[in-house]
Amino acid sequence: MRYWLMKSEPSEYGIDDLARDGIAPWFGVRNYQARNFMRDQMRVGDGVLFYHSSCPEPGIAGLAEVATPAYPDTTQFDPESKYYDPKARPDNPRWFHVDVRFRQKTRLLPLAEMRSYPELARMRILARGNRLSITPVDPDEWHFILAKLGVGQ
């Protein structure tokens, strides 16, 4: 089992939306490294820290899990979509995504608080210049965060 931090802007799709929907496709990722994480490394059942980004107080807002293996993101083929990629073809897709399943909403663990813990100093989300929307989370970091959130393992 692996663990991931997945960023979403709450104005686009937040933890409350996932709680309402139960399961949702994590579409629109247009970074090759993030795509490769989904396509090549994510497995059904992997844990997800649902992170609110590009908002007044960014941070971890809840927990989810990977619900499906990676499959082609259909928005890449839709000329009306902001995620359209004219180089992508149905017989040779460039972009993939997984579905994520809601587990629980948590208290917000703000980015500033995350930075205060030496145990999290190596997290990619805390690295200077990190802009990836999906990053792996070390098992020790995962368990530390769950303890800080008061969530059982």
Q: Find the angle CA(96)-CA(102)-CA(105) to the nearest 5 degrees.
A: 130
The second-level CATH assignment, the architecture, of 3-145 is: Roll (3.10)
pTM over 0.85: yes
Average confidence score pLDDT of the chain: 96
pLDDT tens digit sequence for 53-86: 999 999 999 999 999 999 999 999 999 999 999 9
Looking at 3-7, 116-120, 124-128, which range is the least confident one? Answer: 124-128
**Quick one: pLDDT at residue 128?**
86
3-class secondary-structure state, position 31 = coil
Query: How do strand 71-72 and strand 96-97 relate by DSSP bridges?
Result: antiparallel
Q: Which residue has the higher pLDDT, 116 or 131?
A: 116
What is the arithmetic mean of pLDDT over 102-116? 97
